Structures are given as structure tokens and as C-alpha cells.
Amino acid sequence: MEAVLWLALGILLLVLGGEYLVRASVAVSQRLHISRIVIGMTVVSFATSVPELIVSLLSAVKGHPDIALGNVVGSNIANIALVLGFTAVLVPIAVKRPTYAYNWPMMMLMSALLWIFLFTGGRLSGFEGLVLFVALVVFVVFIVRQSYRSGDAAYDEPDEDLHDVKAAVIAFWLVASGAALYLGSRWLVDGAVDLARMLGVSERIISLSVIAVGTSVPELAASVISALKKEKDLSLGNLVGSNIFNIGSVLGLTAMIKPIARFDAGILNNDIYWMTGISLLVVPLALLPPRNRIDWWKGSLFLLLYAVFIYFSYAH
């Protein structure tokens, strides 16, 4: 039971830390009069990947490569199959042109690069991590430039009144979120290792399920709240962008600091195929009626796929 307690506390701190890191980041950006769309594509996308980054980095440094890699692979599966699926059951999600033209192809490219690096060398080296990170930076610069060219990046008034937050409050949010993310990641990793030993399953299985869902909670909560509020601008681009950042920033930076090697063969023989296959399904499903939307039946299919993935992961 102690392992479960540490897991729960770790997830809670990661959620709180991630939330206030995003608030602080957006507040700083709005003080600098950066538009919402640029904030979303850069500041918020990176900030929401920080929980995965700290968990993966700490896992790699402490000698748990299965958790470092499984966390990202599992999070990418959960973002599409669980978060997108569950949200689409509540309210249809629009699939907009940038998703077809830029975000989805980049997600598949990053997934392919990860697949190639892991299969050819059996590890993720520092140089390969650098390639992933540079690819992410180039993509972000390209997207931001495209937004300015189209006029989408023009500054507009923020939805949330965060531009008037005092500097001292922003500083407190940054310090508190940093402490929460660090402690939460330590407790989550330690609890996951203990739980794996207690249940007699591998660290890979725990990272693909419990840890991956725990670090995806912010995306799930934000998507469900938006759906319940019936917001019209729900976009698949945010979830796809999160997957791109998970590979480029989380695994890229982690491998640059501590190469990821000697991980469970199941990640190569099973999990990465699930991640790539579920990601690949997004656009073909969006093109089926009703076109350019992920609605309840498509969301139900994603949820079913996630349930099958979890079942077979534990069954084997």
C-alpha cells in the first residue's frame, strides 16, 4: 500500500506542479504581449511536457531506462487513445487544416525517427537525442513563422486574466511548481518501482500504464473540462503537439543528458508498434464520415484500442 500512496502523491504533485508552471509561463508570455496561438504552440506545449521530462530524466539517471522510455511511449498512446477518445465521446473534436498539413505528419516523422534509432542501435544515444531535439526546434520555428505569415499570430487579448498577475506571484508559482514537479517525479518513480516489484510485473508495464496515465492527467483534465464547457475551439492539434514534444523534448533532452539503453525488449517488439499504429489512425479516421471530426464512435474505437493495449500488456 505504501507504493500506491507514493504513486498517488507523486501524480498529485505532478498535476499541481504542471498546472502552475503553465499559469506562470502564460502570465510571463502575456506580459510580453505574445499571442495566444504562439503561447500555445511553444510555452504551453513545453510546459505540459515538463512532468514527462522530469520523470524520464530522473528514471534514466537512477538506472530505470524502462520507465524513462515507457513513460513517453505510454503517454503518446494515452494522449490519442485515452484522452482524445474519452473527450470525443463527450463532444466532437474538430480536425483542422494544420493538423493534416503539419502536426500529424511531424508526429509520424518523430515516431519514425524514434523507431529507427531504437531498432538500429538498441539504444537512444546522446547524438540521436540531439537530432530529435533539433527536429523539434526546427518544427516549432516553422509553425510560428507560418502563423505570423497567415496573421494567426497577431496579438489579441488573453482569455484568462493572467497578464496582470504580479511578478512576485509569478515567481512563487515558478518556485512552487519546480519543487512540486521534482518531488512528484521522485515519488512517482520510486512508487512505480516498488509497485512493479509488489505486483510481480516489469517496470515497463507500470510505466506504460500507471505512470503514462499519471503524466497525461493534465491533458485529460484540460480536454474534459473544455468538452464539458462546450468550447467550440477544441482541437486535435494540442494533443498531437504534446506527442511531438514528448519525443523531441522529453526523450531528446533525456538522451542528451543520459543515454537510454538496456531497456525491456517489449518496448521494441510491442509497445512502439501500438504507439505508431494508434497515431497513424488519426487522419484516416478523421477523413471518414463525419469528415474532419473525431466524434463519439471514433472516440469509442480509440478507447477500445486503449483497453485492448492495456489488457495485452498485463496479460503478457
At 107, the pLDDT band (50, 70, 90 cuts) reads very high
Nearest to 92 by CA among 255, 285, 273: 285
Average pLDDT over residues 15-20: 80
| pLDDT above 70: residue 161 | no
Which of 8-12, 84-88, 119-123 has the lowest average pLDDT? Answer: 8-12
* Length of the chain (residues): 316
Question: pLDDT confidence of 35, banded at 50, 70, 90?
Answer: low
Q: pLDDT band at residue 89, thresholds of 50, 70 and 90? A: very high
Rounded to 5°, angle at Cα 103 from 102 and 108: 105
Confidence of residue 34 (pLDDT cuts 50, 70, 90): low
Phi, psi of 123, rounded to the nearest 5 degrees: -160, 170
On whether the CB atoms of residues 80 and 279 are closer than 8 A, the answer is: yes
Q: CB-based burial of residue 119 (10 Å sphere; 0-12 exposed, 13-18 middle, 19+ buried)? A: exposed
Q: Where are the alpha helices (DSSP H) in 32-125?
A: 36-39, 45-61, 65-77, 85-90, 97-98, 104-121
- Contact (CB, 8 A) for 75 and 215: yes
Summarised one tens digit per residue, pLDDT across range 225-274 is: 666 666 545 567 778 888 999 999 999 999 999 999 888 889 999 999 99
- Residues 184-198, mean pLDDT to the nearest whole number: 83
Domains of the chain: residue spans and CATH: 2-315 (1.20.1420.30)
Is pLDDT larger for residue 4 or for residue 283? 283
Q: What are the cell numbers at 223?
A: 480536454
pTM value is 0.87
Instruction: Name, in order, each residue with C-beta under 8 angstroms of 307's C-beta and a sequence gap of 6 or more.
Output: none
**What dihedral angle (degrees, nearest 10) is formed by the CA atoms of 154, 170, 247, 36?**
-20
**Structure-block grid coordinates of residue 74:** 505510454
105 band by pLDDT with thresholds 50, 70 and 90: very high
Of 21 and 255, more confident: 255
Cα separation, 118 vs 123, in Å, equals: 5
Q: Is 200 left (phi over 0), alpha (psi -120 to 50) or beta?
A: left
What average pLDDT score do residues 210-232 get? 72
Sign (positive or negative) of CA dihedral 243, 264, 66, 139:
negative
Given a cut of 70, is residue 181 above it in pLDDT?
yes
DSSP state of 1: -
pLDDT, average across residues 132-146: 90
Sequence-distant (6+) residues with CB within 8 A of 91 are 227, 230, 234
